Structure 1
Amino acid sequence: AMESRIWSATAVTAQLQQKCYRFSPEHRLMHLRTRLQNSEQGLERGQSSLLKARSTQLQLLMRALDNVSPLATLERGYAVVSTYPEGDILRDAEHVAEGEQVMARLAKGQLICTVNTRKT
């Protein structure tokens, strides 16, 4: 009988100690610290993922911009020809007369040219 009461009291004491621990500030702080660490890790993963996605998007936009860039066209060997000295872009040979000067803008440098013959 005495042994049973001791065993019962020991069990009740263990349960009470466990309840005290669960509601203790130390336990609560440990739990909150773990949640904070998990949240920080999730935030870092999300931030890294967003940064990679934005970097990829930026590279695609830069490539698209480079494809339509006049400088890229010049690098491929084309020239932009304009009236000289006004600088109006020429799209049609009829807009310039023989003997007039034009400027050809190249990838590296410019040429001032005199129109000898015009073909339309």
Structure 2
Amino acid sequence: MGIIDALDETSSEAAEKGEAYVRTTKKYYELKVFQQLAILSSTGCKAAIYGILCTLGLIFMAVAAASALNVYFDHAALGYLIVALSFFVIIAIVYTLRNKIERMVIRKLSENYFD
């Protein structure tokens, strides 16, 4: 009976250690998910705030530039047209660089995620 008792005790210890490992691993992944959510939400909030402020600044700068061009060319529509075309040129440049931007974002996210 000694061998059976020893096997029973060993298997009980192995089961307890396995359960402890599972609990610890679960806690680790919960903390990892929390870390990623915290990073994502803080980055998203900062990006939203920066984006809103930059958009407001860009609107005021565009109106000011269009007004200055109106005075320079002495034609109201021409100033607004030049500003609008410059925005479309910027959009075209960003569109052509979209793959590089995506790679940069993925690289930055992977650094945070696989840390």
Normalised to the residue count of structure 2, the TM-score between the two structures is: 0.49
Higher strand share: 1
TM-score, scaled to structure 1: 0.48
Please tell me whether Structure 1 or Structure 2 has the larger radius of gyration of its CA atoms.
Answer: 1
